[in-house]
Amino acid sequence: MRNGYDEAAAVAYAKRWAMSRNPAYLDFHGLGGDCTNFVSQCLYAGAGIMNRTPVYGWYYLTGNNRTASWTGVEYLYRFLTANKGAGPYAQEVSQDQAGPGDVVQLGDRSGFTHTALIVDVQGGECYVAAHTLDSWMRPLSSYRQPVRRFLRIRGVRGKQQAALASRSGNVV
């Protein structure tokens, strides 16, 4: 557990849903890709709270009622690295500082196009779970995208406030 982030829960969610789809979420496979949607689901499993700030937050209520950061590679990066409110927050780190429950984004010179969740690290090799091309325990070295950035989930903010609001009947 890292400052309220349960990386084991995020990895367990990834293991459960890497090769299938959770029916509670829209499958974005035919709509530009499901990779960041899947990783957001994993992060939510580990964080337990969304950031319901319109436009700049990070949440999913329905396929049509969500933020771009829930499903967009670059938007998720911006949310995680700039988030000062509720929900998970992250810092870009080197590969050797990333571990299970953290995020890796892949791309090339033109930009980042794929998001995966790190589920294990063995002998310096990261293994990931991902959607679009469904994967569980896929070696990161097997991806062709040459540019990678690693996002270490530093923690989660707002869980205590969310628990209090939930008990009082308010939605966070």
pLDDT in tens, 48-81: 999 999 999 999 999 899 999 999 999 999 999 9
Hunting for tokens 């009947």 — which residue is that? Answer: 169
pLDDT score recorded for residue 15 = 98
User: 110: how many CB neighbours lie within 10 A of its CB?
Assistant: 7
**Rounded Cα gap, residues 116 and 145, in angstroms:** 12
Q: Indicate whether 165 pLDDT > 90.
A: no
pLDDT score recorded for residue 61 = 96
Grade residue 32 by pLDDT with cuts at 50, 70 and 90: low
Grade residue 139 by pLDDT with cuts at 50, 70 and 90: very high
- Higher per-residue confidence, 164 vs 67: 67
* Sign of the C-alpha dihedral computed for residues 42, 71, 23 and 27 taken in this order: negative
Grade residue 166 by pLDDT with cuts at 50, 70 and 90: very low
Q: Residue 56 to residues 23, 52, 75, 106: CA-CA distances in angstroms?
A: 25, 9, 9, 22
Q: Indicate whether 147 pLDDT > 90.
A: yes
State the average pLDDT over residues 94-115: 97
pLDDT score recorded for residue 82 = 97
**Rounded Cα gap, residues 120 and 92, in angstroms:** 18
- Would you give the distance in Å from CA 39 to the centre of its chain? 4
CATH of domain 7-157: 3.90.1720
| pTM for the structure as a whole | 0.91
**What residues does each domain of the chain span?**
7-157
pLDDT tens track for 72-97: 999 999 999 999 999 999 999 999 99
Q: How high does pLDDT run on average in the chain?
A: 91
pLDDT score recorded for residue 29 = 80
Nearest to 151 by CA among 37, 7, 1, 49: 7
